[in-house]
């Protein structure tokens, strides 16, 4: 078995990604068992118990040499100032290793690709692992509404101020809003791509991706030059879910990639946070379904809720919502009863107040003195009345 992290190991891992999509259960297990170079040899020979995998490899390697493709890809990456990160490297994002234990009820095609990455391509100057160690994902609908964009901006701006890196998928809508708000707040944002780091998709966000590469990170499991095929977005989503401490869902239709990401988040036991929306909005149907059906999902409406959910115990305290405070809020029970007995208009005698409050006259007299000192009542011709606001004590 070759040394993990060696040039041979790196080249083999790159070659394997040309033969099978990232996260493939059997390929990952084989690499774990015999190492990347030996696993590559076995796949090239068709020497695996998975007939479907053998057929896919035969189809992909027809007319090409995966080893030469890997060498050319690594030279291309150097010209792009991109680097390859493997599990033996210090900057490997350790959280993604928990994908090794991810089990899902559905046995669909995409769910065969849920294991940890063999390698990750990176553009940007920040170390990948340490950056993702204190990171949160923010995902949502491409067809985002003004409500979703505004909420995303408010949440993400505060996360950046608290030195949380913000991770998303680079798509239009909520993803782009999360990236832009982080950049505007001077924070670090990470775009996890479903294509090569040299051809970010969608092309309409090209300038945004350039900014992210300059000040944050662009990462992908697919080698430079890889196309953004539809199924790759669904495979990619597991990395967003696994690499971060938690995920915030802001708007999602009934069927969306963001919903699939949240299913991965919940399956991994990460902090799953959902922003509710108007019940009349099609873009909030998915959010409400998760909140209704998953008790392990947390409802959040602002950045303070998000920080409270992911922070260490006591790190981010959130005060419960309260209305405006009034001087009468601090009154003891008897004083409150006496004040309530004072008529809104006109005045009343001490005996009348005692009868209305259900207290004896001596108790009412004591409480009236306190209420008068507090500037809540006044005496008018021997009777008691509420103090006029314009004359109320400060």
Q: Residue 197 sits in a domain of what CATH number?
A: 3.40.50.450
Domain assignment present for residue 316? The answer is: no
Q: Which of 27, 53, 72 is the last residue of a domain?
A: 72
Based on the fold, state whether residues 59 and 85 are members of the same structural domain. no
Q: Is residue 151 part of a domain?
A: yes
In a domain, 322, yes or no: no
Same domain, 291 and 331: no
Q: Are 253 and 169 part of one and the same domain?
A: yes
Would you state the pLDDT for residue 229?
92
Residue 240 parent element (H or E): helix 230-243
The answer to whether residues 273 and 246 touch, using CB atoms and an 8 Å cutoff, is yes
Q: Is residue 296 assigned to a domain?
A: yes
Domain co-membership, 132 together with 280: yes
pLDDT tens column, 30-44: 999 999 999 999 998
Boundary residue ending a domain (310, 344, 363):
310
Whether residues 64 and 91 share a domain: the answer is no
Q: What is the DSSP string of 39-71?
A: HHHHHHHT-SS-HHHHHHHHHHHTT--HHHHHH
Q: Are 250 and 284 in contact (CB under 8 A)?
A: no
Residue 292 sits in the same domain as residue 372? no
Residues 94 and 51 in one domain: no
Tell me how far apart the alpha carbons of residues 155 and 137 are, in angstroms, rounded to a whole number.
11
Averaged confidence pLDDT in the chain: 89
Q: Are residues 235 and 348 in the same domain?
A: no
Neighbours of 220 (CB within 10 A): 28
SS3 at position 265: helix
pLDDT at 156: 97
Question: Taking the CA atoms of the chain, what radius of gyration do you get in angstroms?
Answer: 30
Instruction: Convert the pLDDT of each residue in 364-376 to its tens digit.
Output: 888 888 888 888 8
Does 196 share its domain with 145? yes
pLDDT value, residue 8: 92
Q: Tell which wins on pLDDT, 325 or 99.
A: 99
Across 117-121, 221-225, 246-250, 351-355, least confident range:
351-355
Phi, psi values for residue 294, rounded to 5°? -120, 100
CATH of the domain at 353: 1.10.10.10
Does residue 52 sit in the same domain as residue 84? no
Pairing of strands 297-299, 271-275: parallel
Calculate the dihedral angle through the C-alpha atoms of 260, 261, 264, 265, rounding to the nearest 10 degrees.
-140
In the chain, the number of structural domains is 3
Q: Is residue 48 located within the same domain as residue 152?
A: no
Say if residue 178 is in the same domain as residue 266: yes
Domain span holding position 1: 1-72
CB atoms within 10 A of CB 132: 28
Residue 318 included in any domain: no
Measured between alpha carbons, how far is residue 93 from residues 117, 122, 129, 193, 236 in Å?
10, 12, 4, 16, 15
- pLDDT tens track for 119-178: 999 999 999 999 999 999 999 999 999 999 999 999 999 999 999 999 999 999 999 999
Q: Return the percentage of the chain with pLDDT > 90, whole number.
A: 61
pTM above 0.85, yes or no: no
């Amino acid at each position: 078995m070759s040394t993990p992290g060696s040039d041979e190991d790196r080249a083999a891992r790159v070659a394997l990604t040309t033969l099978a999509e990232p996260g493939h259960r059997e390929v990952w297990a084989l690499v774990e068992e015999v190492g990347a170079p030996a696993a590559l040899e076995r796949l090239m020979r068709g020497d695996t118990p998975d007939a479907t995998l053998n057929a896919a490899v035969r189809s992909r390697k027809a007319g090409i040499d995966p080893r030469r493709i890997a060498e050319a890809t690594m030279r291309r990456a150097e010209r792009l100032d991109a680097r390859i990160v493997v599990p033996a490297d210090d900057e490997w994002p350790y959280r993604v290793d928990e994908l090794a234990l991810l089990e899902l009820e559905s046995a669909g095609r995409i769910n065969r690709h849920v294991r940890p990455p063999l390698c990750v391509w990176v553009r940007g100057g920040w170390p990948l692992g340490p950056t993702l160690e204190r990171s949160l994902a923010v995902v949502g609908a491409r067809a985002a509404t003004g409500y979703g964009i505004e909420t995303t901006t408010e949440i993400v701006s505060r996360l950046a101020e608290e030195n949380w890196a913000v991770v998303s998928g680079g798509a239009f809508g909520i993803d782009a809003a999360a990236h832009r708000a982080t950049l505007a707040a001077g924070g670090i944002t990470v775009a996890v791509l479903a294509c090569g780091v040299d051809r970010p998709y969608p092309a309409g966000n090209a300038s945004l991706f350039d900014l992210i590469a300059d000040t944050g990170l662009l990462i992908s499991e697919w080698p430079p030059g890889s196309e953004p095929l539809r199924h790759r977005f669904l495979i990619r989503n597991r990395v967003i879910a696994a690499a971060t401490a938690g995920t915030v869902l802001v708007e999602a239709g009934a069927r969306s990639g963001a919903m699939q990401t949240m299913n991965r988040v919940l399956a991994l036991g990460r902090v799953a946070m959902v922003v509710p929306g108007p019940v009349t909005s099609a873009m909030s149907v998915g959010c409400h379904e998760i909140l209704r059906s998953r008790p392990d999902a947390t409802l959040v409406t602002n950045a303070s809720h998000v920080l409270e959910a992911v922070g260490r115990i006591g790190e981010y305290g959130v005060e419960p919502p309260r209305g405006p405070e009034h001087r009468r809020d601090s009154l003891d029970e008897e004083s409150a009863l006496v004040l309530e007995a004072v008529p809104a208009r006109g005045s009343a005698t001490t005996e009348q107040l005692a009868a209305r409050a259900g207290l004896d006259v001596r108790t009412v007299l004591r409480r009236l003195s306190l209420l008068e000192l507090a500037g809540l009542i006044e005496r008018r011709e021997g009777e008691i009345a509420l103090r006029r606001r314009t004359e109320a004590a400060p």
